[in-house]
Structures are given as structure tokens and as C-alpha cells.
Structure 1
């Protein structure tokens, strides 16, 4: 016989949703602890310095594009990407103004950025786009479709999620096809569903080069890997491999494959594919993990010895601890009990914004949750995806990592506060810890306003750690 804990059995509207009410946008931005909240990993940094206002701003320490912190964070990502060609300052700020004028919501955000992507994928008014212009516009379009995709489940057309993903994927593939040289596009075997990969090279000389495998987080798109690694790698004479793993991109949106806690089963076939190539220096293969992949990449590196260097951006030990404690309390050992609490006590009290938040956060971990969300409904099985998220904890395997590792952290890290330093302390391999700060505008999770600084730090470290032979 099972017994509910008192905390779980007595959940109410206010206890179950503390950290969601009024903060849904922050949670939606990356599925983790809201700014100003605390987690089991410790408090959010208490700095009060701000680039444009006080710590009472929607997003402390940065410019405010939107009052809603979720829209603001994503808007900053689009704005920051302009430095890598994956956005345009004027286009992004014009879209921001349009959204605010119409009233910022998931509907206006999604529709505005989708329309911007559509415009860029059409020929310029009065002329036929040249090949290079088409290529550059396609890269920006993939950014804007990704922006729209992020909030589509809260819009008037949640069923359009897959179509919107495919629009972004088509623009990304157009950009790749028109690049010189174009990346090698292939499918790498993985279970029943192959992994799509894009292998970028500085040239087609066939020269053996160091190579970085770029791992996305739980809700990123391929264009984010361009911003956070591909362009920087090519400029330094490195190859770069972009891929969709389970729970990401094509594997989630089309093939309906959710995250796995055994990320080494994903990375190992990628390494097999790379070492079989004559233009890859098999002794200089690095692995990076952005956002939640700061958990996935270290997990893979703990079991894949052919990785020569690892970068966690930021270091993440337990993604489940990123969710507010009030949400974590819903989970009990008993599936029926958990789902009854969820369906009977929590779901009926959710606002539309809170519901959209949870739909977005849980879809990469549950196909039924994703399909329900696309149908405008809330998922009924909380227990199964919650257990999967919980199983991503790598606290006990970090000590297995042998290769040199760089752990990044950020001022005002709003999603995994405290976890990067804890990962660093647990590492027994050669290691470095670096915090990107508000002093140079590189604060917040993944430095959304400073991806160029971010890449400079990462690739300077990689080149020093894996020097040429």
C-alpha cells in the first residue's frame, strides 16, 4: 500500500503553482527556476546591478524588450544572434515594437515572427534575390521561425507546431545548401531513427582538422548552433558537427522520439561517423553542450573516451532541480497518485499562460504530452515525463569524466543557479571554471546578448587545450 506525502496530498492552487503564477514566461524560456526564486541548488545571485534599470525589472541586469521575462529572454537571443548573422537588429526591434503595440502574447509573438520568416523566404519586393542574399535571408528566417515555434503551443494554432518547425528547417537547409562549401548532410544510425547531421568544414581540401560536436539544449534549433559555435569554429579552421538528437528538432517534432538519459548512446555513433572521415583529426574531437545540454554532453563524455575536450555551457547536474520545488512536489513514487494530484488539483487551476508553459516544458519528454498540446489540451500523465526528466541527473557520473573540461557559468544564471560550480567541484579531470559577467553584457543563461564573447571564451580554451600537432 502506498501513501502520499503530506506535501503532495495537500497541494493547493497557491502551493502547487508558486513560481508559475506571474512567472510563466521565465519558465517557458527554459523550463527552470524563475529569476529571484531559489532552488535546491541554492539561491539566484543577489546582484542588483542593471544595464537599464533596477533588479525589479522583468529581466534584471539587461535591456527590457518585453515586460514578460520569457518573451524578453527569447527576444534577447534573437537580438544577440545578429552579431553572427542569424538575425538583424532592425528586424528584431521592429518585430518587438509590433508585438508590444498589438499587446504581447503568445499569439502576437508567434504570428509576428512567423510573418517575418515568411517575408525573408520570399523574393525581395521588386527584384529577384541573388544567391548570397537568399542564403543570408534564409539564415535569419530560420531564427525567426524558431522564435515563433517557441511560443506556438500558447497561440491560437498549437496544431501548427510541426508545420512551423518544417518552415524553420527548410530555411536552415536552404542556408546550408547555398553555403560555400555546403555542409555535408547525412543520417547517422541511431536505433530505429537516424540522427540528421550537418558537417561544416572551412574548405574541401580534405585537410585533417580538429572538430567540435555542438549539442543543443531542450528547445533550441539548428540556427542556435550556428550562433554558438559553427561560425566561430570555421573562422578558426575547425570543423563543426551540428545534429538533432532525441527530444530535439526533427527527432522530436517529426519522428516523435523523446530525450534519453543515456546521451552517450547518441554521441558515440556521431564519433564513429567522424573518425571514419579523412578530414577529421580523430585525436582532437571536442564536445560542447549548450543550455540543458550542459547536462547531456558531460553525461556522454563520461562514457565516450574518444572525446578529447568537453565544454558545459553551463554545467548542469540535475535538470529536474531546475523546476520550481512546488512543481517537483507533485511527483510521488506512485504513478496513479501523482497523476490524480496533477489532473484533479493542479490542471483545473492553471491559467492559459501557465498551461502553455507546462505543455512546452514537458513535450520533449513525452509524445502523448506533445500531441495533446498540439490538440489544445493538457497532458494527463505527469508522472512518466517527470520521471524521465529526473533520470537525467548526472551527479553520480561526473567523476568518470577524464578529459579536460571547461564549465561555464553566468551572472544572473536564472535556470540552473549554483549547478555549474557544483559540477566543477565534482570533476576530477583537468578542469577550468569561468563565469561570464554583467560587466561586459554577457550575463544571463547562455549570454543571450553576447554570443560572440561566449564563442571567444570557448574556442580560445579549446585551441589552447587541443593545440595543433
Structure 2
């Protein structure tokens, strides 16, 4: 109607608009959502966010460490007075805030990265002991070294019980998804989480980088798991989060001891999904990658100098993939492609997707269509609030729908 102003366009609930950087904004939502598993408090998260200076590369890491140090101090004080539960909860949140600092650290090779990672591990181990969580730290043999992880024994398990192996993605540590472990334990399922190559402390403490032949990682994990008392080796499920949704199908193509597979989100070709992102952000320089890699690197260096998001992503990804340059990183990413092996998968598979998936758009459906094993497709939507990448901030509905499927087929 003429003369009547139109209503302002409603911003989606998940676009907080609290951080200048959109990736930081989405990570802020991630840590707000951690309140569901008592690994964060809303005031602490928002207060930390309010102190972050947009144009300061170090501000994100510095402020999260500051908050974590304060919580660790609270834990120390309560523990000294014999207040186990208060101390344990403070340490649990401190560990998560230390991990938050690592997600957007501007210098992956800086000594503070390892220091902060070790602080996170120490606080988490103290929380486990004080809160009497049913978890024990483990070291999983892997190619002449070991991978750190935790085994969670369900107090509700009777006899030999199923095992859920949880595999994180490119950025987060598996401890951050405590809500998945909590839900599994309540249902009588044991859990095993691991800092695999490219992830968590495996990259920061040992320099182990991502690799495309992910069966070489998961097979040692399953070898270890099948020797744990109380684990039913015939009922092992493998769950991959984020980039893990590309890694676990590769592993399942070669590892026959997996009964159930859950890639969340499902990804057929991680390299292609990565290139789709690059083509969207850098359409003018991407043609240089194959024709003149040095020119590509020079152009990317200019963009990295100008924009923190590009600078952070490239430095972080190069470190985790063992790449020497941006062009080398992209060449390595091309190797993460399951198209040639996906038909080898035999276990029942739940391919998870969301209508607002931002990082591998369309890949879940491609994976589902390519699978020849027993399979199901689970789409989260705006209506059920699980539409974001890995159902961010919708932990309750994510657990509800995923574990209903798990209960049906395990």
C-alpha cells in the first residue's frame, strides 16, 4: 500500500550480529550453545565477546584465555576449600574457553597455542576427577606414536554394550560436543573420542596433520576399542562431525567392523566443497591456481594481509594440512574425495543434512545418492531449528532424532 513503510526484514535467529566477523559470530553461537552441557555460561560467553576488538588479530584468543584463566582461578579456590562440585564445574567451563581461544588463534605455530591447549587438557582432566565423570584418558597407538582421547563408560550399560566413536572436524575438539556423549551414556552406550591427525592436541602437540586415507586413522582406533572390556565389538558406530562428515565415509569404505555410520553433515567430495567456497570468495584469482600457482599465492597473500578471516583460515588450514603455501593447501584438499570409494561402504549409514548448511552445500544429498549400502537421509529444517551446520544450537533435537535412529539399528 502506498505510503505505508514495509516491515523490516527479520534476521534469522541464528545470525547474532554481535561480532564483526561472520565466522566469529557463528563460533559465538557455538559456545553459547555449550550451556546445554554445562560447558559454558551465557554471561561469561557474552562478556568475553563484548571485549573482543574486531581489528585486533589477537583479541579473540586473548579474551577467551582471560576468561578461562579467571574460571580456572575460581576452580582452584573452590578445590582448596574442598568444594569439589563447584571446582569441577568451573574447570569444565575453563577447559571449553581455552579451546575457544584456539579456534581463531592468529598464529598456529605460536608457543601460546600449545600452552593454551595444555591448559585446556589440564582443566578438563580436573573436571573429570572432581565431577566423577565416567571418563578415562587414553592413548591410542598410531604409526609409532599415540593419539590422545577419552573413553566414556556408560554407567547404564549392562554386559557388553555398543560403542559410539565420535570424530570431530577441522576446528573443534571432540570434548566440546559433550552433549553427544551425555546422550549416549544415558542410553547405555559407551563412547570413545580421539584427537586425530589435524585435530586438537594431535596437531598442536605432535604436529600430526590431516590425511585423505582416513581408514589409516580409524582402523587403529577400532583396534584399540575392541580390546576395551565391556565393548561389544559387533556393535560399533562411527559418528563424524563437520569435516568429519567427509572423513568417516572414507574410513567406512575400508573398515568392515563399523556397524553404523553417521556423517554429519554427509560429504561426498570435501575437496570440491572447499573449492566451491574458494570460487565464491575468490573468483578472480582461482583460475591462477593451476596455471600459475606462484601468482595465486601472491594474490592470496595480498588478500590475507587485508582481511583477518582469510589470514586466519589460510594459516590455520595450512598448519593442519602440513601445507607450505595457499596453493599447496588447495592441491592437498583436492585429495579429500570419496567418489571412487563410496560404493565400498557396506554398513548402514545415516546421512545428515540441514537446509542452512553453509560449508558443504549439496554434498549430503550427493553422498546419499552415491551410497549403495542400507541408508537413511535425515534433513534438519528451520521448523525443528536444527538447520545449521552440525545442528548448531539445537543440541536437544539433534540428539533426539539421531539417537532414535541409532537405537533402532544398533
- Provide the C-alpha distance between the structure 2 equivalents of 1:282 and 1:122, rounded to a whole number of angstroms: 42
Q: Any stretches of 5+ residues in structure 2 without a counterpart?
A: 1-7
- Provide the C-alpha distance between the structure 1 equivalents of 2:270 and 2:286, rounded to a whole number of angstroms: 11
Match of 2:30 in 1: 77
Q: Does 1:148 align with 2:104?
A: no
- Provide the C-alpha distance between the structure 2 equivalents of 1:154 and 1:125, rounded to a whole number of angstroms: 29
8 Å CA contact 1:181, 1:203 repeated in 2: no
Q: Does 1:195 align with 2:147?
A: yes
Q: Residue 460 of structure 1 aligns to a residue in which SS?
A: helix
Q: Does 1:420 align with 2:364?
A: yes
User: Superposition pairs for residues 41-120 of structure 1, below 5 Å?
Assistant: 54=9, 62-99=15-52, 102-103=53-54, 105-120=56-71
Which residue, 345, 348, 353 being the options, matches 1:409?
353
Q: CA distance change for structure 1 residues 126 and 289 in 2, over 3 Å: closer, same or farther?
A: closer
Question: How many pairs does the alignment contain?
Answer: 392
Q: Residue 328 of structure 1: CA displacement?
A: 5.0
Q: Which stretch shifts more, 161-170 or 232-241?
A: 161-170
Q: Does 1:256 align with 2:210?
A: no
- Provide the C-alpha distance between the structure 2 equivalents of 1:264 and 1:103, rounded to a whole number of angstroms: 40
Match of 2:138 in 1: 186
Which residue, 299, 320, 324 being the options, matches 1:345?
299
Q: CA distance change for structure 1 residues 94 and 412 in 2, over 3 Å: closer, same or farther?
A: same
- Provide the C-alpha distance between the structure 2 equivalents of 1:193 and 1:381, rounded to a whole number of angstroms: 27
Q: Residue 288 of structure 1 aligns to a residue in which SS?
A: strand
Q: Which stretch shifts more, 163-172 or 248-257?
A: 163-172
8 Å CA contact 2:266, 2:367 repeated in 1: yes
Deviations 1:99-139 (A, max 9, x none): 3xx55754332222111111111136975362222222222
8 Å CA contact 2:317, 2:329 repeated in 1: no
- TM normalised by structure 1 equals 0.78
8 Å CA contact 1:152, 1:160 repeated in 2: no
Match of 1:357 in 2: 313
Q: CA RMSD in A?
A: 2.5
Q: Which stretch shifts more, 171-180 or 67-76?
A: 171-180
- Provide the C-alpha distance between the structure 2 equivalents of 1:119 and 1:70, rounded to a whole number of angstroms: 25
Match of 1:169 in 2: 121
8 Å CA contact 1:294, 1:314 repeated in 2: yes
Q: CA distance change for structure 1 residues 231 and 98 in 2, over 3 Å: closer, same or farther?
A: same
8 Å CA contact 2:288, 2:295 repeated in 1: yes
8 Å CA contact 2:166, 2:174 repeated in 1: no
Q: Residue 270 of structure 1: CA displacement?
A: 1.4
Q: CA distance change for structure 1 residues 54 and 430 in 2, over 3 Å: closer, same or farther?
A: farther
Match of 2:289 in 1: 331
Q: Any stretches of 5+ residues in structure 1 without a counterpart?
A: 1-52, 370-379
User: Superposition pairs for residues 276-425 of structure 1, below 5 Å?
Assistant: 276-321=227-272, 322=274, 323-325=277-279, 326=282, 328-332=286-290, 337-338=292-293, 340-350=294-304, 351-353=306-308, 354-366=310-322, 381-425=325-369
- TM normalised by structure 2 equals 0.88
Q: Which runs of 4+ in 1 moved over 6 A?
A: none
8 Å CA contact 1:295, 1:317 repeated in 2: yes
8 Å CA contact 2:263, 2:351 repeated in 1: yes
Q: Residue 194 of structure 1 aligns to a residue in which SS?
A: strand
- Provide the C-alpha distance between the structure 2 equivalents of 1:330 and 1:172, rounded to a whole number of angstroms: 45
Q: Does 1:208 align with 2:160?
A: yes
8 Å CA contact 1:206, 1:278 repeated in 2: no
Q: Residue 155 of structure 2 aligns to a residue in which SS?
A: coil
- Provide the C-alpha distance between the structure 1 equivalents of 2:341 and 2:157, rounded to a whole number of angstroms: 39
- Provide the C-alpha distance between the structure 2 equivalents of 1:166 and 1:242, rounded to a whole number of angstroms: 17
Q: Residue 441 of structure 1: CA displacement?
A: 2.4
8 Å CA contact 2:353, 2:364 repeated in 1: yes
- Provide the C-alpha distance between the structure 2 equivalents of 1:134 and 1:458, rounded to a whole number of angstroms: 33
